[in-house]
Amino acid sequence: MTRRYMIFIRAVCVALMLALAPLVAANFVLDNYAITNARTELDAMARRYVMRGEFAINDAVTTLQRLERSSATSCSREDRQMLLAAVGQLGFLQRIGLVDRNGVRMCVVPDGQINGEAILPAAKQDAPLVGIGVMGVQFLGTHVAIVSWDLMNSTRLFAEISPAAVSIDPGPEYLRAFRRAELRLGNDVPWFSTGGFSSELLESDEILTVEVRSDRYPLKSIIAVPRSAAISLVAGLKMMVAVVCAGLAIIFIAIGVWFSWRPDRDADDEFAAAIRRKEFIPYYQPVMDIETGSLRGCEVLMRWRNRDGSLIPPAQFMPYAESTGHIFEMTRIMMRETVREVGPLYAENPDLKLSVNLFAGHFNDRRIIDDIKEIYGNSAIAYQQLVVEVTERMPLEDLELARKLIAEIQALGVRVALDDVGTGHGGMAYLQKLGIDIIKIDKMFIDAIGTDDSSTTIVDSMVELADNLGMGIIAEGVEKVEQVERLRELGVTAAQGYLFAPPLPGKLYIELAQALTGERDAAGDSAEAA
């Protein structure tokens, strides 16, 4: 009996087993989907509450710091006026005042009763500048949060934060109706709570609970819903799926096994033939200086030009090439083609850079170094014009070996760039350990510039990090003029994307480069003549 026939028989047996128990299979899959989806939603809700709490505390601390800088640190009439004005600026601040070293209120605005009771712990020498706690008064399961700022003179400014500051109602409707949300401060004291269900009527395994803690403050959010509420998302699907499960199992498993086995062998044969026919060709996407408009170089991108002339994008063949090991020979072909196509251009323009993409497997042995030396060592493209890009999307198997190989590559004069920064596995570890020369900001963050403050902040942080570490930085996927303007403001000087040019075949890239370098030379001659 052939291997192909055995695989087909096993697939039929699996399909028949699923057909005998359609309800069990359907319920298991759908319930797990519903629970997973609910946990994701609960986690998002909890993070929203924590973020809202952090924002409120941050604003309160900033207000107290501003008052200290304004010398509003006493109970004089003028200082109380400044405290009152600060309360009016933030709607969620109930009151602001001062306490003495024992935590007893000295004054509070708007005018409140001074009863001699301590609202804060007594001051300690080793206590942090910022103190966070809750007031003793409770209303409908909530407390007023209190944030203090040490003035270093045995007194402290404090601000009372209303629970309204964190009174939000996130999440999908099917969970909100049964959800219980709590935001707790300090020693597990509730600051805010809403919603709920009778937990006494349910076993612990019938309740889904998610807890998220703040990284900055003694603050945590707890979100809980009954398991039944989560599963209600798929209640309507269960009956329908149960009816058709058996038939679909037989059809899809049989077809899936049949077509996932034989085409793999055919695909490998086709891939090997395509490599022999040199159907994998380099395209060049220009990298521009967004301050001067001059050409800095390009990134080499692989394309599959089929025998009928059509181009197959990398997403359709690159994962297969990497998983089968074909990528190594394909990369060598790309490198040789760059020497053949753009070598003369780069010999005439020594300032131009050429970026070649590598994947994680290239850093498992020294073969990539041998390839670089063999192909570029005596070519028209100098080592100093080369940049190799390490992607962050796939993890490096041996970080220490990769570090040594990168150091050898850099010793040749080749620069190393970290591609897709912020989207993958490496993060700060790659920047710290690999000795990267250039950071490339992923298109995901560039797309959100101007519309998402958090993405702009991330880009700003990357630019600052690159500047502090002495690294270059390139923005990828730039498609709008507004993005260029914002990148200039952030200090980015190099970018690539469809706003400037798409990936180009060698001939068009050479023509573009000659036109741009010709303009530069003409401008230089004019300046000299003047």
At 334, the pLDDT band (50, 70, 90 cuts) reads very high
Summarised one tens digit per residue, pLDDT across range 24-35 is 777 777 888 888
Considering the domain 277-525, what is its CATH architecture?
A: Alpha-Beta Barrel (3.20)
As a whole number of angstroms, the distance between CA 211 and CA 186 comes to 15
At 287, the pLDDT band (50, 70, 90 cuts) reads very high
Those residues with Cβ within 8 angstroms of residue 42's Cβ, 6 or more apart along the chain or in another chain: 171, 175, 179, 208, 209, 210, 223, 224, 225
Summarised one tens digit per residue, pLDDT across range 35-65 is 888 888 888 888 888 888 888 889 889 999 9
Contact at 8 Å (CB) between 327 and 361?
Answer: yes
- With 0-12 / 13-18 / 19 or more C-beta atoms within 10 angstroms meaning exposed / middle / buried, residue 151 is middle
Please compute the mean of the pLDDT values over residues 258-265 and round it to a whole number: 52
CA 462 to chain centroid, in Å, comes to 12
With the CA atoms of 309, 314, 316 and 317 taken in that order, what torsion angle do they form, in degrees rounded to the nearest 10? 90
Residue 230's region, left for phi above 0, alpha for psi from -120 to 50, else beta, is alpha
The pLDDT, as a whole number, for residue 254 is: 62
HEC string for 200-219: HHCCHHHEEEEEEECCCCCE
At 2, the pLDDT band (50, 70, 90 cuts) reads very low
As a whole number of angstroms, the distance between CA 282 and CA 301 comes to 6
Contact at 8 Å (CB) between 84 and 76?
Answer: no
Please compute the mean of the pLDDT values over residues 252-264 and round it to a whole number: 56
Contact at 8 Å (CB) between 403 and 439?
Answer: no
Give the single-character DSSP code of 504. B
Contact at 8 Å (CB) between 98 and 106?
Answer: yes
The pLDDT, as a whole number, for residue 240 is: 78
**Assessment of whether the complete model's pTM goes beyond 0.75:** no
The label of the residue with tokens 């270093």 reads 152
Contact at 8 Å (CB) between 171 and 187?
Answer: no
**Pick from 241, 353, 300, 199: which is nearest to 505 by CA?**
300
Summarised one tens digit per residue, pLDDT across range 466-498 is 888 889 999 999 999 999 999 999 889 999 999
The pLDDT, as a whole number, for residue 480 is: 93
Which residues make beta-bridge pairs with 96?
Answer: 109, 159
- With 0-12 / 13-18 / 19 or more C-beta atoms within 10 angstroms meaning exposed / middle / buried, residue 517 is middle
Q: What angle do CA 10, 11, 13 make, to 5 degrees?
A: 65
At 527, the pLDDT band (50, 70, 90 cuts) reads very low
HEC string for 65-102: HHHHHCCCCCCCHHHHHHHHHHHHHCCCEEEEEEECCC
Contact at 8 Å (CB) between 135 and 142?
Answer: no
- Cα of first residue to Cα of last residue in the chain, in angstroms, is 87
- Asked which of 87-91, 240-244, 397-401 is least confident by mean pLDDT, the reply is 240-244
**Pick from 126, 114, 120: which is nearest to 102 by CA?**
120
Please compute the mean of the pLDDT values over residues 386-402 and round it to a whole number: 86
**Residue type at position 127:** A
The pLDDT, as a whole number, for residue 35 is: 86
Domain residue ranges of the chain, discontinuous segments joined by +: 34-244, 277-525
The pLDDT, as a whole number, for residue 425 is: 54
**Residue type at position 149:** W
